[in-house]
Amino acid sequence: MIEYSPFWNTLKNSKVTTYILIHKHHISSATINKLRKNKPITTTLNDLCKILNCRIEDIAQYRYSNDDQFL
């Protein structure tokens, strides 16, 4: 499971807000909601890293979950 708690910490420590993400960078409010709920997102992580000037580890982390899809 991809977990986005690092994103919220990174956002909190930046000068960027969810308002700025939505209105300046055109990240949809639905995407912000998905990040809150650790749901899959279609916004590229590359865009978020560029906007926040951070590394992928500052946005997401993998956490094992029994609910993951079996491969």
pLDDT in tens, 7-64: 999 999 999 999 999 999 999 999 999 999 999 887 788 899 999 999 999 999 988 8
Give domain limits for the chain.
2-62
Can you tell me the distance from the alpha carbon of 24 to that of 12, in angstroms, rounded to the nearest whole number?
Answer: 17
Hey, what CATH class is 2-62 in?
A: mainly alpha
* Sign of the dihedral through C-alpha 13, 18, 41, 34: positive
The whole model's pTM is what?
0.79
